[in-house]
Amino acid sequence: MKEISAGGVVYRRTANGVEILLIEDRYAHWTLPKGKQEPGETHEETALREIEEETGIRGRIEQPLESVSYTYFHPDKGNVQKEVHYYLVQAETDQAVPQLSEINTVRWLSAEEAWKLHEREGYDNNRSVLKKAFQCLGIVV
């Protein structure tokens, strides 16, 4: 079985610099907002819809970052091949509201704090996605 998802590295510029939006998923990992593609959607439409559903943040895609593939085991479906398309997304709204049925919480963090939290409690396959986003934004961590 194959599953396609999309999401993004959501950012905003503040007086203190760039802030990155991370979510804490139901497994207590800090990660990027993403979700499954619905029939008829483009990857970009999926990314923006899922970001808004999970976090309450509306955004605008600036550019693609990376596609990540991995396999996970689902108790009913067996091995699932997952493909996730990530984009750099500039936030157009500020008030983050977590979709508690899907995630635990959502938080704006400085780029440095986001990187540290990801390295401690995130998923390895998101490291290169974050690095690419930081490069696009001129951020060095």
Task: Please give the model's pTM, rounded to 2 decimal places.
Answer: 0.95
Tell me what pLDDT residue 22 has. 98
Lookup: tokens for 102: 């899907």
Assigned CATH class of 2-137 = alpha beta
CA torsion, ordered 111, 115, 116, 121, to nearest 10 deg: 130
Tell me what pLDDT residue 33 has. 98
- 125 contacts 135 by C-beta, under 8 angstroms: no
Tell me what pLDDT residue 132 has. 97
* Residue 69 CA, distance from chain mean position: 14
Over the chain (141 residues), the average pLDDT of each successive run of 10 is 96 96 96 97 98 97 96 92 97 94 95 97 95 96 79
Query: Which sign, positive or negative, has the C-alpha torsion 3, 60, 30, 134?
Result: positive
User: Would you kindly state where each structural domain of the chain is located, as residue ranges?
Assistant: 2-137
- The burial class, CB within 10 Å (0-12 / 13-18 / 19+), for 57 is buried
